[in-house]
A and B are shown apart, each in its own frame.
Chain A
Amino acid sequence: MRDPANQPVESPEYPPELARLPPGRHGLPREFVSHNQRERLIAGLAEAVAENGYAGTTIAHITRNAAVSRRTFYEHFGSKDECFIAAYDTVMAELRERVEEAFGQEEEWPQAVRAGIRAMLEFLAAEPHLARLSMVEALVAGPVVVERYDAAIQSLVPYFAAGREGLSKEVLAGLSPTTEEALVGGMVSLISRRIFADRTEELESLLPDLVEFTLTPYLGSTEAAKVARAS
């Protein structure tokens, strides 16, 4: 195995204007697109998976989209699976960063939850290819990715668990330990279903329903509905 971090710098195989991904076609946020080969390969995979599905994607599709040679592909990744995992991790890191930022900007927890959910829906709606990659194709990409997918969803639990702080003993007694897990699962199932059905344009309109659904156990439905409808 070669150490990908310790490679001699290669001269570009294509003139920069050809090697660059045309903006807009690949569905990646601009910050993902760079001259860096590894990132170009990741973007190339996202584009190929959007067109052909995970199973139908070949290394030839990826290298064509990324405008690099097959050899370069294998200098960065051992297999298609490995490249997919890198792409998945990149998308999830981006999504996590946006959610965290939005969540952190609000003083109050209910508003923070609303901001976090909004950031997630906006990202997925703006990037339908990445939404599909992370929420649909991830499920068919083998056990390693599925394990990461499960972990990514479970990593949302603490955002909701923070709502337990400051609640009265009586309310806390009514919250079972699996509340947050169930809320996260319910939220993700609504989101994934729209993505499966290629209805990403509906995602943002889920915001009030998701906010009300996730806040109700903590605030009661009247208060939860008030926060939800203020969005």
Chain B
Amino acid sequence: MARHQRVRIIAALAQESSEQGYQQVTVADIVSRAGIARNTFYENFRSKEDCFLATQEYAMTAALERVVAAAGELGNWADRVCAGLTAFLEYVVEEPALARTCMVEALSAGPAAVERYERSQQAFVSLFKLGRDVSPHGGQLPETLEEAIVGGVFWIVYQRLAVGEVAAIPALLPELTEFALTPYLGAEPAREAAARASGNLRSKPGA
């Protein structure tokens, strides 16, 4: 029951934030959206900020679990990148309001939120970093490369969320995979690997 309530409040905060921007959202908005008593809100969270951090934690945990589970099963690095991105995009499409809250609003919600936002990118940073081992020039790649790739991937997804083009997100998979692989493998091999990996995923039963 308590968990159910928390999730409901979290969903309400995400909805409200994605509609009017986190800064403008009040506890009253969240309470009325969730259809709960004000007291119930304060039994679960100390403040709007506390609720925001819980929202981030909730969405990040769910998204990361999926990414790690999807990417961990495979042997080939390019396939793992593609599988991880697939899982991530699927989560975003299922939960656009939560995704928007964590990717967009987090940057305006104070230092603790920004710190969590940065942590949310770490799973991808580590996954991409493995590409240095298979890259012919892995030793010479810039130190900030993974940070930049993740920033680019998040930006593309964020742009689609910002204009409400959620339906266009799954189709981004091959290009995002290619974008992530290119610095390690070179453009041509990256394109081939991305096409192969997204093809493999598509032909996987149940995928």
A→B interface (CB under 8 Å): 55, 136, 139-140, 142-143, 146, 150, 153-154, 170-171, 173-179, 181-190, 192-193, 196, 206, 208-210, 212-213, 216-217, 220-222, 225, 228
Looking at chain B's contact residues, is the secondary structure mostly helix, strand, loop, or mixed? helix
Q: Which residues of the partner chain A approach B76 to less than 8 Å between Cβ atoms?
A: none
B183 an interface residue at 8 Å Cβ cutoff?
yes
Task: Tell me if B170 counts as interface (CB < 8 A to partner A).
Answer: no
> Given that A178-B172, A185-B151, A189-B151 are known contacts, is A206 also in contact with B144, CB under 8 Å in the complex?
yes
B162 contacts A150, C-beta separation under 8 Å: yes
Chain B, 158-197, CB within 8 A of any chain A CB: 158-159, 162, 172, 174-176, 178-179, 182-183, 186-188, 190-191
Specify which chain A residues have a CB less than 8 angstroms from the CB of B153 in the assembled complex: 182, 185
Contacts of B174 in A (CB 8 A): 176
Nearest to A150 among chain B residues (CB) is: B162
Report B172 CB to chain A, min CB distance, Å: 7
Q: In the complex, are the beta carbons of A178 and B179 less than 8 A apart? A: yes
A186–B149 CB distance below 8 A:
yes
Do residues A187 and B148 form an inter-chain contact, with CB atoms below 8 A? yes
A181–B155 CB distance below 8 A:
yes
Given A174-B187, A188-B155, verify A209-B108 contact (CB < 8 Å). Answer: no
Return 11 A-B CB contacts under 8 Å, by A number: A139-B108, A176-B174, A179-B179, A181-B152, A182-B156, A182-B176, A185-B156, A189-B151, A192-B107, A209-B142, A216-B182
Question: Other than the known A185-B156, A189-B155, A190-B148, what 4 A-B pairs have Cβ atoms closer than 8 Å?
Answer: A142-B24, A186-B148, A186-B150, A192-B107
Residues of B within 8 A of A209 (CB): 142-145, 148
Is B65 engaged at the interface, CB distance under 8 Å to the other chain? no
